[in-house]
Amino acid sequence: MSQSATLRLEINPPIAEIVLDRPRQRNAVNHQMLDELQAALDATAHDADVHVVLIRAEGPAFCAGNDMKERAGFSVAQVSARRRRGHDVLNALEGHPRPCIAVVHGAAVAAGVELALCCDFILAGEAATFRYPEGVRGPGAGTRRLPERLGKAIAKELLYTGRIIDAHEAQQLRLVNHVFPDDQLLAAARDMAATIAGGRPVALTLTKRAIDSGVEPTAGEAERLEQEAIDAALRFQDEHRARASQPGERA
């Protein structure tokens, strides 16, 4: 386990867990957390033993957004630089080569929702809530990823009103994949991560790349990426059958 001031990195191959750990600040994102999150993403991206990454949090909230107390004394230039840094780290999470799953309990607000959206999908506890308060605070996160996930009309409603949606509505809107009782959330997430980690890492990476790149590229490029993923899966199946046929080997 790697312990930093704002998060923990727990690696139990083939699963890694990045745990936001500023519970007293409701895991609000400050500059140090961005640096440490980037370091954790780099470490897991280059660790061949890591096949799946869970992003979760300690305390009563998943993430209350950006740390506004830290920004209180910032100049306009400093706020702008801080936003760019935040975008860079979120992009690194979104582009992570391994499947990444957000495990959301309690409140996810603004940058907290963005953090979850940058993962491949979201699992939520029944008490989880999601909110973009941009209608109150002014433009911020959510104007790209939220419409991609929910469509423009629903995204505009949530951004304009800043209203809170609970876990079950989030699932209906397809923001969240599954909702679990709060006391079963982490175990369910770990079980799903273990199932995913059973696949061949290169096949998982290529499948993720094919899906993410296949949304808007040329048809030829999308088909090439898809075929790479298929070929990798077929090679994995052949190798698995070969191992199973060896004397003394078990399937």
Is residue 139 located within the same domain as residue 219? no
Is residue 145 located within the same domain as residue 188? yes
**Residue type, position 29, single letter:** V
Is residue 143 located within the same domain as residue 182? yes
Residue 174 has pLDDT above 80, yes or no: yes
Residue 249 has pLDDT above 50, yes or no: no
What's 111's domain CATH number?
3.90.226.10
Is residue 206 located within the same domain as residue 158? no
Is residue 81 located within the same domain as residue 31? yes
Is residue 171 located within the same domain as residue 236? no
Query: In this structure, what are the phi and psi dihedrals at residue 4, rounded to the nearest 5 degrees?
Result: -115, 180
pTM of the model: 0.85
Asked if the structure places residue 250 within a domain, the reply is: no
Nearest-5° angle of CA 157, CA 130, CA 57? 155
Is residue 144 located within the same domain as residue 88? yes
What average pLDDT does this structure show over 117-137?
A: 90
What average pLDDT does this structure show over 82-95?
A: 92
How much is the pLDDT for 162?
Answer: 92
**212 pLDDT tier (thresholds 50, 70, 90):** confident
Domain that holds residue 211: 201-245
How much is the pLDDT for 250?
Answer: 44
Asked if the structure places residue 237 within a domain, the reply is: yes
Asked if the structure places residue 188 within a domain, the reply is: yes
Is residue 150 located within the same domain as residue 217? no
Q: Write out pLDDT tens, residues 175-211.
A: 999 999 999 999 999 999 999 999 989 989 989 998 8
Asked if the structure places residue 251 within a domain, the reply is: no
How much is the pLDDT for 244?
Answer: 73
How much is the pLDDT for 83?
Answer: 84
Instruction: Report the domain count for the chain.
Output: 2
Helix (H) or strand (E) holding 178: strand 178-180
Is residue 104 located within the same domain as residue 150? yes
Is residue 112 located within the same domain as residue 214? no
Is residue 82 located within the same domain as residue 15? yes
How much is the pLDDT for 251?
Answer: 38
How much is the pLDDT for 235?
Answer: 66
Is residue 179 located within the same domain as residue 234? no
Asked if the structure places residue 61 within a domain, the reply is: yes
Crossing angle for the helix pair 76-94 and 31-45, to the nearest 10 degrees: 20
